[in-house]
Amino acid sequence: VGPFGRSLFVQDQREPMATTNFKGSPVKLQGELPAVGSTVPNIRFVKDDLSEADLASLRGNVVVLFAMPSVDTGICALETKAFNQKIDGLGAMAVAISEDLPFAMKRFCAAEGIANVVVASDFRYHDMSEKFGVRMLEGPLAGLHARVVFVLDKEGVLRYTQLVPDITQEPDYEAVLDAVKKLL
C-alpha cells in the first residue's frame, strides 16, 4: 500500500481463479492462467542488458517460460540453475521471468554461470503478471509472480502448464522436460 492508502499495483477486478500456496497458506492469483491449447498473448520484457524483447520474437522455438518471485530467493535460484542445466543441448529455449530488476538478474547469472536461460524482467510492463495471471494478490510476496512453468510450441501455442502447488517448492522438472521432448 502506498502513502495515500492506495495499492501500489493495479489489481484485476475479476474474481481470482488460480490459487497456489506459500508455506501451506493459500494465495490467490490475478485472473486465470492461459488455457492449454491456446495461443499465448504476446508479452514485452526487459532483458539483463536493458534491451527490450517480446515473446513473439521467440516463435520458431520450443520455449520453457517460467515465472518466479525473484532470483534472490533460494528456490528461484535453484530453479534457474536446474533449468540452465536441464535445457542444455535439448534444442529448446528457457526464459526465466520475474519482477526482478535486470541488474539483479544479470548479477545472478554471472555469479552462477547461467548461460542457457534468457532472463526477462517484468518490472517495466508487468505483461506477464497481467496477461498470464501469475501475480500473487495476497501473502508476504503479494505483487510478485507465482511459480508457474509454461511450455510453448514453435507457433506460440501453450502445450503444458505447471502451477507449482507451493511457492516454496521446485517444479516437477521431469514433467516439464517430458512436455518439451514431445514438441521437439
13-64 residue pLDDT tens: 444 479 999 999 999 999 889 999 999 999 999 999 999 999 999 999 999 9
- How many CB atoms sit inside 10 A of residue 151's CB? 25
List active site positions.
Answer: 76
* Residue-wise pLDDT tens digits, 92-101: 999 999 999 9
Whole-number Å distance between alpha carbons of 100 and 119: 10
pTM: 0.91
Where do the domains of the chain lie, and which CATH numbers do they carry? 19-183 (3.40.30.10)
Cell of 156: 506460440
Whole-number Å distance between alpha carbons of 123 and 164: 22
